[in-house]
């Protein structure tokens, strides 16, 4: 027998048992049949927006290379803790060392040419005082000196550029943090012709993280900065973590033809239980009331047979709900004014008092092997 047939048979049996109990007790004139009830009490009620997102470090830095070459050494690995300025990798510097040597030699040659031009200029100055040379020769000597000075500056800058390229072969950490990704191995060639290749990803700190959650456009109007949020991750399903909304971004994102808005939630990770990239199920608390009179939602949609349902109350609140209070073995209908609801509990503003017992539906209890079994009508069983 298939599961579907079993479910249909159980549903028919429960309905038949309910019908029998209602008719039996009404015809025999005895007390009310067993009822499934809920009691009015006190507790917290909150309205929440559900969203999904991922955990990311507060600051994530991508470390690349501005020069091309072969990775000669790597000094850190995944999860290594690094400090700002610490050497984390080395690219083979031999080519750049040769360029530095060549630039140094060219600078020395230019400086020698400058010395020669200065000596000639001094000699021309002496001959000009004695009027032994023409003005054109003076101008030529002056121009040669300026060219020699400019050539020295060009060669000096070329040496500085070559030295800077050599320094870039030593990859240093730009910040204090932890290595969360290593993209290269020793011996690998990196090419920086068009864009800087990624070597490492560093997280500044994992003690504090951010959730990048996607909130649908239908709910984003209720989400504000400063609101409290709770969330769960698959790695710790038995624990609820807390955070705080710090930013609601205005840039829309289209996902499956639905507009979402990225909402940033700050999270304390001092216990180091959360890791970058974890997916989260977030509940943003948009409104919350503590220690208010409340009742389970099932009591607001009680299902009773017509012969047991009492007459509607004489006075009813506008947009109120009708509940059935158990009083001295009888059911009495009351109109209640409701407030905030969280899908499980609803705040009761007026109409009943704490401790009142409200009927939800019929319940048949039979003892079998010492266990009680209750049958509830309709959708009551889910609660």
Taking the domains of the chain in order of start, what are their residue ranges?
25-43+291-382, 49-59+206-288, 60-88+173-204, 93-168
pLDDT for 244: 96
* Cα dist from 200 to 167, 185, 239, whole Å: 18, 11, 32
DSSP state, residue 257: T
Closest CA to 96 of 119, 65, 118: 65
Low-confidence ranges of the chain (pLDDT < 50): 24-29, 366-383
**Burial zone of 78 (CB within 10 Å; 0-12 exposed, 13-18 middle, 19+ buried):** exposed
DSSP letter assigned to residue 306 = T
- Residue 365: its pLDDT value, please? 57
For the chain, how far is it from start to end, CA to CA, in angstroms?
A: 28
On whether the CB atoms of residues 223 and 284 are closer than 8 A, the answer is yes
For the domain made up of 60-88+173-204, give the CATH fold: OB fold (Dihydrolipoamide Acetyltransferase, E2P) (2.40.50)
Q: Which residues contact 302 (CB under 8 A, 6 or more apart)?
A: 323, 324, 358, 359, 360, 361
Question: What φ, ψ does residue 103 adopt, rounded to 5°?
Answer: -65, -35
Indicate the angle between helix axes 135-167 and 94-129, nearest 10 degrees: 160
Q: What is the pLDDT of residue 172?
A: 94
Q: What does the alpha-carbon distance between residue 243 and residue 287 come to, in Å, rounded to a whole number?
A: 15
Type and span of the H or E element at 116: helix 94-129
Q: CATH code for 93-168?
A: 1.10.287.470
CATH topology of domain 25-43+291-382: 2.40.420
* Burial group, residue 162, by CB count within 10 angstroms (0-12, 13-18, 19+): buried
Q: What is the pLDDT of residue 318?
A: 79
State the Cα–Cα distance between residues 155 and 25, nearest whole angstrom: 109
CB-neighbour burial class of residue 334 (10 A; exposed 0-12, middle 13-18, buried 19+)? buried
The correct answer on CATH 2.40.30.170 for the domain covering 49-59+206-288 is: yes
Report the C-alpha gap between 113 and 110 in whole angstroms.
5
Rg of the Cα atoms in the chain: 41
Sign of CA dihedral 126, 130, 133, 137: positive
């Amino acid at each position: 027998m298939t599961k579907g047939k079993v479910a249909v048979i159980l549903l028919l049996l429960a309905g038949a048992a309910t019908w029998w109990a209602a008719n039996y007790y009404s015809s025999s004139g005895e007390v009310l049949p067993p009822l499934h009830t809920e009691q009015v009490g006190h507790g917290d009620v909150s309205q929440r927006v559900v969203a999904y997102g991922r955990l990311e470090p507060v600051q994530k830095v991508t470390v690349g290379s501005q020069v091309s070459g072969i990775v000669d050494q790597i000094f850190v690995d995944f999860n290594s803790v690094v400090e700002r300025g610490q050497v984390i990798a080395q690219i083979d510097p031999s080519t750049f060392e040769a360029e530095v040597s060549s630039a140094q030699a060219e600078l020395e040659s230019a400086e020698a040419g400058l010395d020669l031009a200065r000596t000639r200029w001094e000699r021309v100055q002496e001959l000009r005082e004695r009027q032994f040379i023409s003005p054109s020769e003076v101008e030529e000597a002056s121009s040669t000196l300026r060219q020699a000075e400019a050539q020295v500056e060009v060669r000096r800058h070329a040496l500085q550029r070559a030295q800077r390229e050599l320094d870039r072969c030593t990859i240093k950490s730009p910040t204090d943090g932890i290595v969360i990704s290593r993209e290269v191995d020793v011996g690998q060639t990196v090419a920086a012709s068009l864009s800087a290749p990624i070597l490492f990803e560093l997280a500044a700190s994992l003690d504090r993280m951010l959730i990048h959650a996607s909130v649908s456009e239908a709910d984003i109007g209720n989400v504000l900065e400063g609101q409290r949020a709770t969330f769960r991750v698959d790695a710790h399903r038995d624990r609820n973590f807390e955070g705080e909304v710090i930013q609601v971004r205005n840039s829309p994102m289209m996902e499956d033809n639905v507009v979402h808005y990225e909402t940033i939630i700050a999270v304390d990770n001092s216990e180091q239980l959360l890791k970058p990239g974890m997916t989260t199920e977030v509940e943003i608390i948009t409104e919350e009331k503590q220690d208010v009179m409340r009742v389970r939602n099932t009591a607001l949609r009680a299902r009773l047979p017509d012969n047991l349902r009492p007459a509607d109350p004489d006075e009813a609140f506008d947009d109120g709900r009708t509940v059935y209070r158990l009083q001295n073995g009888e059911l009495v209908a009351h109109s209640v004014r409701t407030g905030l609801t969280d899908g499980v509990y609803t705040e009761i503003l007026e109409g009943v008092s704490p401790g009142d017992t409200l009927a939800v539906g019929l319940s048949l209890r039979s003892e079998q092997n010492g266990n009680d079994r209750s049958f509830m009508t309709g959708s009551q069983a889910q609660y």
